[in-house]
Chain A
């Protein structure tokens, strides 16, 4: 397990290198690239100083990494404000949206997935298969606009633009976040459900489940005692993979709903080529993503008696 965690940290390190040194891919340097053809030598000099291009790359990297860890992420190029200040509230908004979507999606997906596995090849299962196949094929913005069209424009139940701020009450926040959370849920539920179904079906065909039937164990108990303990690891895996997916799906949904989150900031900064902000956002997204995958691995190790009690 220590090995797995070490590998996760190593991956994070390599990614930080990629993010930090990706800039070096440019033929000239970043300042040149941002200012373009009409750059004056003076402008270039100032920008280079701002970007810290006068220090050697490895020092720059260590500074940057140290800043990422301590929360001092430097200044935005676009509006000269500290990046930490920009990111702080937006990160909590994004986590709020993601968490909200996860709260709805996980119970629905697991229930539907387990039911589909239990009633395999039934009409219900086939219907669910078509539904999920369709839903994973839809681009996120398509789902989002359909929801807006119906629930915001035609019915007028929810706001089509989810501008939330810290002054709002929790319930008000929930209300305004419902549509974006629902769009995310629709996408994630489909994936999560299909994976849950597949892993449960795989499990139910194992000989020890047949043995439990032949021991005359009650069907409910077979599920709770024989299937679920073994299904835990794959299900946790499914959840983690999809949460990680959610972290990314959030980018587009935030743009559609003009939701003040990290994803929108990232997209804005990419169009403005505000590289320090992009780097900071990417690092945060990648860390969350890796952390989720890592915790899935750790939990599945912890729940496996084979690894817990070696021979």
Chain B
């Protein structure tokens, strides 16, 4: 515990900034109903009201309070991104580690399937599936999980490969250890650092991806508050020199910047001088 604290305090300024921002976002997301002045879907006044003491950030295209929607949006967008990332991680890292540890035809088969998925641009794949199946939540989640787990697979397999060729893994195999033991005791402890960093990167990707889909009107559907759709709904304001649509967009950007700063520091720490892009 003390070591962790010491580690944190030695972080560079950018990483500290990142951690503080992430913490604030989490608090906002968890306690959204307590913090938000109005309800998520309440229509309170005229459309596009300017900023006032009553509505700190004005109202949106339907006359709902921007600030409240922004706060609820944190909960919805971040929550969804976390769920998707976690699912993709579970699938991707289990299959990735198994492929690396077993090798042979299983590895070949899984890798070829993933290669094919990776050679379709993620956004195009998602648009295709969503146009066929529609934008209901389970489809949205399923599609992004599939897209994302292939990326996780690739990274986890590569890191696990580096460990799987080590003699100590061979020692375990020669001893007669079963696959779960080898994965859990020999491989996993040695790839936690890159895995953690990858989780951060994947989260950013998913978060941006959902926002992009919502911005295109194909992600989280109204009336649920979500930052991507908020940008879209209020986009016209920009031509009146009003920065309102930039606020949710900025909220997205700030969180991804924060996560990236922390990840960058973690990668730098775990790889010594190795540069990872």
Judge A-B direct contact (beta carbons within 8 Å): yes
Nearest CB on B from A239, distance (A): 14
Q: Which residues of A contact B119 (CB under 8 A)?
A: 11, 15, 286, 289-290, 293
Selected interface stretch from B23-31, B51-59, B247-255: B247-255
Interface residues of A in 111-161 (CB under 8 A from B): 129-130, 133-134, 136-142, 145-146, 148-149, 153-154, 160
Contact A198 B250 (CB under 8 A): no
Dominant secondary structure of chain A at its interface with chain B: helix
Closest to B217 in A: A271
For A266, give its contact among B127, B134, B208 (CB under 8 Å): B127
Interface residues of A in 214-236 (CB under 8 A from B): none
Contact A278 B128 (CB under 8 A): yes
Q: Which residues of A contact B235 (CB under 8 A)?
A: 145, 256
Nearest CB on B from A98, distance (A): 13
Closest to A22 in B: B132
Nearest CB on A from B98, distance (A): 23
B129 close to chain A: CB less than 8 A: yes
Q: Which residues of A contact B211 (CB under 8 A)?
A: 139
B2 close to chain A: CB less than 8 A: no
A307 close to chain B: CB less than 8 A: no
Q: Which residues of A contact B215 (CB under 8 A)?
A: 139, 141, 252, 255
Please report the C-alpha to C-alpha distance between residue A111 and residue B29 in the assembled complex, in whole angstroms.
41
Please report the C-alpha to C-alpha distance between residue A197 and residue B274 in the assembled complex, in whole angstroms.
12
Nearest CB on B from A269, distance (A): 7
For A11, give its contact among B116, B216, B231, B256 (CB under 8 Å): B116
For B246, give its contact among A149, A191, A202, A273 (CB under 8 Å): A149
Please report the C-alpha to C-alpha distance between residue A23 and residue B211 in the assembled complex, in whole angstroms.
25
Contact B132 A137 (CB under 8 A): no
Selected interface stretch from B42-50, B87-95, B168-176, B257-265: B257-265
Contact A138 B130 (CB under 8 A): no
Q: Which residues of A contact B259 (CB under 8 A)?
A: 137
Selected interface stretch from A67-75, A79-87, A163-171, A243-251: A243-251
Known: A149-B243, A248-B121, A290-B119. A137 touches B130 (CB 8 A): no
Number of residues of chain B lying within 8 A (CB) of chain A? 48
Contact A139 B252 (CB under 8 A): yes
Q: Which residues of B contact A269 (CB under 8 A)?
A: 131
For A273, give its contact among B124, B131, B243, B275 (CB under 8 Å): B131
For A139, give its contact among B124, B125, B218, B253 (CB under 8 Å): B253
Interface residues of A in 262-311 (CB under 8 A from B): 266-267, 269-271, 273-275, 278-279, 281-282, 285-286, 289-290, 293
Q: Which residues of B contact A289 (CB under 8 A)?
A: 119-121, 124
Q: Which residues of B contact A23 (CB under 8 A)?
A: 132
B276 close to chain A: CB less than 8 A: yes
Known: A148-B238, A197-B277, A282-B128. A138 touches B245 (CB 8 A): no
For B277, give its contact among A19, A195, A248, A290 (CB under 8 Å): A195
Q: Which residues of B contact A248 (CB under 8 A)?
A: 121-124
Contact B124 A137 (CB under 8 A): no
For A141, give its contact among B134, B204, B212, B241 (CB under 8 Å): B212
Measuring CB to CB, which residues of chain B are less than 8 angstroms from any residue of chain A? 14, 115-116, 119-125, 127-134, 204, 208, 211-212, 215-218, 228, 231, 235, 238-239, 241, 243, 245-246, 249-250, 252-253, 256-257, 259-261, 264, 275-277
